[in-house]
Structure 1
């Protein structure tokens, strides 16, 4: 009995314990201490999606360019860090009185470089060099430290199995006063510029292409002596910056010789055997190479198409009736390249339509373009962009101003109207103006091929030969279209059907051959003896003489606007023709119902031409 009672007590205790455990919650384990999330500091590298948001407008190319609201970002692939790029700064649109749009302000070689949490933009100099294999290269490097143009904090990194890209904010670089990509210091002094007005400065466009990035930004500078609109006390400009990727392998150089006219660049080379500092100079020229499969043909003297042709596109803004003449002027140079062993080395094309190629743009460095500009400036010019390491011309845009036709009209009228009925009017027939456009097109293209003015060319021809129809039709008015020989003011009314202007002449063919003909299996240094022999073959022949352009005339044989080997005789013939024009000016310029503005203009042109004749002999 006692045992039963004891068992019941134990069962009751167990029951109470169990029932109590039902109402008691489980005992909580002590909470683990968790580290509080670290907030990113201002300026730290952010997640990519926080910087380049879904609202970003992106343009892929050399770098991907992003616009997020009012900010602009570059996304730089790792593969492009340490690659050299060329930055060309121009004034795209200018204030009145400041020259013309397209004027170059600065050219610099740049290198993008990662440094900790920043990206540095460094300026590279190729003016002082030595081969890396030489001990002296250490001294050259130590005395040629690359300055830092700008430092960009890294904003984000995009890293996955395919890409490893770095994002930087470039807004301030283009909107603040970074002098290397803005208005020239000399011009600032001339116009008494005090500072940049940031409130009137902004980025217009940033566009990326496969081999370049083009930026347009408006800069407004406070000026106490602006060239125009003095009441606003400021100058506003639209700046253009072209950043171009340079080739991994520089082109083989061709060394310069002052006996042949050529645009060239130089650098001090401390790796030479000379016992003094020496500057080596080399040509600016396009990379024209023989295809591997055509080398045997080339060696046998057969003309071959180069690996990569020089192609010029005609701006879609060009009036249709003038396009064929500009294209003819471009392709007139084909005959000169034949002397260098190439056929169809240079060709002209109409720019593709949006339907044909929606991605085509004249700002893409892959496309050289004749840009047609609606401007009152009576001019055209042919600049080019070249690799400072080798002289390779990378791209060229010829600026063709609408009002160049006024210049052509005035020259052609005053210099040929005495013998040429086609010039005796205010507006020439399209075929006449077209031929003049072709002449200027060829001249400007010559500059883009590397040729400067050759003011010593025209003296090669005897004055009396310029009155000979057979001679002038065969040889033109000068051996080079790169002279300022203009039009045939020497010919007299009784001379018959003489040629009135120069063409691609014998000097042009010779200089293109000298600069472009491939010399296979030789280094640039080994080529020099061959180049020298080509010059010596023509030594003493005035047709192949180069005379550089002079600021003040010292060498009377290298004057501008002259013709023939005897300035006294040529000027006398020119004055005779002016005397024939004067009594007819009213008739040839007058139009019913119009005033005498054109008569006044052409009389002024005539007086100017007379002064040129006098200047040639005084």
Structure 2
């Protein structure tokens, strides 16, 4: 009798229930891209019908990490997903944009058949909204269980000999909904026989942040790659072209900078205009106060390049809101591009970005700024300029000198986030005589591109009074930004 009752209860739970039975009066609801209902330790998504089959980008980052396992803010995975209804379930599928053909063409069917979208997770439908325009599912296990692409990467699991998830020490911190994205935070504890630190515990605990952002319904217009202009790119194989073979299309990763409708004539007449949406970089709250202005200057140094493309104030730097001003602001939120300040002995910085694989549109970027990058530029500046530069003739520089070095690194890394790769050939354009000329170097810097590894002016001699020692946003940088941005 008890077995029959248990079976009946199980079947009842599997059935689609009235909305009020699932989303009870105890639910706390967060309204955004999806409605998120929290009931005790359960998390329910209420997905509008209009968002099924829309493509969404999931970015997985380590928000907080164990010592020796990367750094807080490190990206673990990026993938395109779509939510899809199938009978009494909602499927979360992984979308590939590597192989395509226009939907209007017969060959599109063959492309689809050869690129079946894997199912990342399946959710029983719990209920429909009262007006039947949305579907309710329980996503608790998506973040509570060990889903490879949403947690610690397979590579790291192998490195640290992870055997399995310790569910008793894993939990969901929060799931929040915003107008265009959903941010989920969860703590994962794994059994590991080779943890990077605290080996006596035999475990690794990390906090993961998953940002799911809605991609534009209509992708941004592409700018196709031209080998004469170095740039970071995306690519896909298109079977729907007139070419008598499949063709690999390569297009640029670039920010969407558009002219406001009311400013179009001004823009065409050569007047500088502000874009519809600026490129905004926030400075991490963890950044030492005395270095913040230099990092911000390095970001906004790129305004001169965007002016060459017809835009003013196209790129700006901002301090983050305080906890009191906005307690929900977090650098892991996919809406914000942030210069992340990392407590790491690594003497480096890097500037990755996240882009829409369909169009190359850069959606956000986080510059990873390691604390010990200062030791790196200290060594460079001393070695390369001390012979002709008294300010570099000390083992430790003044804050003003170090600030200018930080500004240089900031500009270089921002260049990467805008799409520019290293340009090792640019410095060959200047002659030795040019680099000893104060007027030339003040006007053109020490290389045509700040993306070169020429670093500082080691050609300058003690008698070269007034010569510039630093590179700046060069003539190549200005040209390439203008070419990439302008489609007129």
Normalised TM-score (structure 2): 0.91
Task: Work out which structure has the larger RCO, using CA pairs closer than 8 Å and 6 or more positions apart in sequence.
Answer: 2
Q: Which runs of 4+ in 1 moved over 6 A?
A: 37-40
Q: Displacement, 1:357?
A: 5.6
Question: What SS is found at the alignment partner of 1:484?
Answer: coil
Q: Which moved more, 1:230-239 or 1:100-109?
A: 230-239
The change in CA–CA distance for 1:230 and 1:86 in structure 2 (over 3 A counts) is same
Deviations 1:243-271 (A, max 9, x none): 11001111100001222111111000001
When residues 38 and 67 of structure 1 are mapped into structure 2, their CA distance, relative to the original with a 3 A threshold, is: closer
2:389 alignment counterpart: 420
Deviates more, 1:223-232 or 1:508-517: 223-232
Q: Kindly indicate whether residue 449 of structure 2 is the aligned counterpart of residue 449 of structure 1.
A: no
Task: Report deviation, 1:146.
Answer: 1.4
Alpha-carbon distance between aligned partners in 1 of 2:327 and 2:202, rounded to the nearest angstrom: 42
Provide the residue aligned with 1:115 in structure 2.
86
1:497 aligns with 2:466: yes
CA distance in 2 between partners of 1:366 and 1:181 (Å): 19
Greater share of residues in strand: 2
Equivalent residue number for residue 73 of structure 1: 44
Please, which of 344, 347, 370 is the counterpart of residue 316 of structure 2? 347
Match of 2:188 among 198, 210, 219: 219
- Per-residue Cα deviation, 1:162-182 (whole angstroms, up to 9, x for no partner): x73322221211122211212
1:569 paired residue number = none
- Checking the alignment, whether the CA contact within 8 Å between 2:99 and 2:237 is kept in structure 1 is yes
**Residue of structure 1 aligned with 2:57, choices 69, 86, 89:** 86
- Rate the CA distance shift 1:422–1:115 in 2: closer, same or farther, 3 A: same
1:292-329 CA-partner distances (Å, limit 9, x unpaired): 22222222222222222212233344333322222211
Q: Is the 8 A contact 1:209 1:364 kept in 2?
A: no
Partner of 1:137: 108
1:411, 1:511 → 2: CA distance? 27
Q: How many residue pairs end up in the alignment? A: 481
Q: Tell me if 1:155 matches 2:126.
A: yes
**Partners of 2:56 and 2:82 within 8 A in 1:** yes
Contact kept in structure 2, 1:211 and 1:365, CA below 8 Å: no
Decide whether the 8 Å contact of 1:265 with 1:281 is kept in 2. yes
Query: Is the contact between residue 155 and residue 168 of structure 1 (CA under 8 Å) also seen in structure 2?
Result: yes
Matches within 5 A, 1:140-539: 140-160=111-131, 164-353=133-322, 360-519=329-488
Measure, in 1, the Cα distance between the counterparts of 2:412 and 2:331.
21
Please give the alpha-carbon distance, in whole angstroms, between the structure 2 residues aligned to 1:494 and 1:230.
58
Specify every segment of 5 or more residues in structure 1 that has no aligned partner in the other structure, as ranges. Answer: 1-36, 520-618
Separation (CA, whole Å) in 2 of partners of 1:115 and 1:65: 21
Confirm or deny: 8 A CA contact 2:63 2:332 kept in the other structure: no
Give 1:361 deviation, angstroms.
Answer: 4.5
- After TM superposition, give the deviation of residue 355 of structure 1 in Å: 6.3
TM-score (norm 1): 0.73
CA offset digits 1:197-234 (Å, max 9, x no partner): 32332222222221111222222333333333333333
Residue 66 of structure 1 deviates from its aligned partner by 2.9
The change in CA–CA distance for 1:59 and 1:363 in structure 2 (over 3 A counts) is: farther
Partner Cα distance (1:176, 1:361) in 2: 24
Residue in structure 2 matched with residue 529 of structure 1 by the alignment: none
User: What SS does structure 2 have at the residue aligned with 1:240?
Assistant: strand
Distance 1:211 1:461 in 2: 47
1:354 is displaced (CA, Å) by 5.8
Secondary structure of 2:189's aligned partner: strand
SS at match of 2:221: coil
CA contact (8 A) 2:93 2:121 kept: yes
Aligned to 2:34: 63
Aligned to 2:4: none
SS in structure 2 at match of 1:236: strand
Higher helix proportion (structure 1 or 2)? 1
Structure 1 442/352 Cα, relative in aligned 2: closer, same or farther at 3 Å?
Answer: same
| Contact 2:211 2:333 survives alignment (8 Å) | no
Secondary structure at the residue paired with 2:409? helix
8 A Cα contact 1:289 1:518, kept in partner: no
CA distance in 1, matches of 2:86, 2:457: 63
CA offset at residue 428 of structure 1? 2.7
SS at match of 2:126: strand
After TM superposition, the structure 1 stretch with the greater mean CA deviation from structure 2, 204-213 or 46-55, is 46-55
* Alignment partners' CA distance in 2, 1:195 and 1:353: 38
